[in-house]
Amino acid sequence: MTGLEGNFWRVGHGREIELGRRSVIMAVINVTPDSFSDGGRFETVDAAVEHALQAVDEGAGIVDIGGESTRPDAAGVSPSEEQARVLPVIEALRGRTEALISIDTYRAETARLAVSAGAHIVNDVFGLQKEPAIADLAAATGAGLCIMHTGRDRVKLADVIADQVHFLERSLAIATEAGVARDRIVLDPGFGFAKETAEENLELMARFSELSRFRLPLLAGTSRKRFLGAVTGREAEDRDAATAATSAMLRLAGAGVFRVHNVAINRDALNVADAMLNARQEFERKRPT
């Protein structure tokens, strides 16, 4: 699933989005007071909705709504608080944009309510392994699933790709047992999620193409991550240029969906990467055999 041929991610409410020919941006919409780079900026429903609509105007095909920070030292929130943050935003967006709406949660009940409110995709940062009922929900509703790898709350294997395979194969088994079709699934290797060092994240980037073994679309979520700060020396809010560089590189390595904070700069970088990939494909098509 790394070429430019058209593949469709089938998601909830009878929708789909093409992956392959052009990179797809998933905009981060944090309705939280404490997210690592934009906490407190979009806490109100109006602010979050306007931010999401601006992201769509700048080129996002998906808006990912989250009500609990997933940074390593963040305080947890109750399910009711998470739901109170995200559901009004989803309900407001449903009638104002054709962009797909994703709910960033690991809780099955929040996911159920979000899909009922209009979300098309469930983005689970614990890869179905904290609350496997999310897989049952996806199978029952047809919601799209983003299954993310994490090293949190477990002992990882030493090799970064071996650990990806070990974790994601278990996640995919949960999805298959629940009856989730493969064309509903995108995989996310989880940059920054218990990847303890910059070197570990960089190795994952360097070996990203090895994840094509799953034959599923891949999402890259490097946006403003700490390892980019280690490389550039910049604070989180100043890492958008570095993020765009990684987006372009990972596009060339096979990623099709990009979860980012700053849509505009990543759209530009990905447009260049897409153009280069199309030029390469055209050259291969015309080259004499």
- At residue 71, the pLDDT reads 65
Rounded to an integer, the average pLDDT of 257-274 is 98
pLDDT single digits (tens) 69-92: 876 666 779 999 999 999 999 999
pLDDT category at 2 given cuts 50, 70, 90 is: very low
Catalytic residue, from 107, 112, 195, 259: name it: 259
Proportion of the chain above pLDDT 70, given as a percent = 93
Answer yes or no: is pLDDT of 63 > 70: yes
Answer yes or no: is pLDDT of 3 > 60: no
Q: Is 225 one of the annotated active-site residues of the chain?
A: yes
Answer yes or no: is pLDDT of 218 > 90: yes
Rounded to an integer, the average pLDDT of 46-58 is 96
pLDDT single digits (tens) 143-195: 999 999 999 999 999 999 999 999 999 999 999 999 999 999 999 999 999 99
CATH for 7-286 is 3.20.20.20
- At residue 229, the pLDDT reads 97
The pLDDT mean for the chain works out to 93
Answer yes or no: is pLDDT of 40 > 60: no
At position 76, the amino acid (one-letter code) is G
DSSP assignment of 133-194, as one string? HHHHHHHHH--EEEEE---TTSPPPSSHHHHHHHHHHHHHHHHHHHT--GGGEEEE--TTSS
Catalytic residue, from 184, 195, 224, 225: name it: 225
- At residue 1, the pLDDT reads 44
Q: How far is residue 283's CA from residue 67's CA, in Å, rounded to a whole number?
A: 46
